[in-house]
Amino acid sequence: MDRQGFPGTAPDAAQIEAIARATIERLPPEFARHLGDVVLLVEEFADDETLAALGIEHPLDLTGIYSGRPAGEKSSGESGALPDRIHLYRRAILDEWVETGVRLDDLVAHVTIHEIGHHFGLSDADMHALEDEVGEEEVGERG
């Protein structure tokens, strides 16, 4: 398994966040310009309230979640609402990383793009297309 520069230690929240922010920077401009107010949070696990609301029993079963209203459903009359948030759950991501052997940067990018897709109200097919587009740019940078 490719440890991607993390020999002997699990990546911390700052490292997961750096990968997620690098993913966001590679988004096409039409997406990136609408993410300025979205807060990115990396936490160890989802809280019990979030898990219960989603009907998830074990915190390692949730790698990320988008909290907010999709961009197309917002109105200019909304005030005082919490900012939209993307939560990434470090321990669940690391658990999936170890179980699957997928490169950590690819896994974090996948979860990040999936949650961004919820912000834009994208379908799963659209999320996969966006992930492919961002991934193609990264391959060009790595290649």
pLDDT at 83: 81
Number of Cβ atoms within 10 Å of the Cβ of 28: 11
Tell me the two tokens of residue 116: 């961004």
Helical axes 104-120 vs 90-100, angle rounded to 10°:
130
What's residue 81's pLDDT? 67
- pLDDT for residue 133: 79
Per-residue pLDDT tens, the chain, 143 aa: give them: 444 555 567 899 999 999 999 998 888 888 777 777 789 999 999 999 999 999 999 999 999 998 887 666 655 555 666 788 999 999 999 999 999 989 999 999 999 999 988 877 777 787 777 777 777 555 444 43
**Hunting for tokens 């391959």 — which residue is that?**
139
CA distance 129 to 61: 24
Q: 86: alpha, beta or left, given left = phi > 0 and alpha = psi -120 to 50?
A: beta
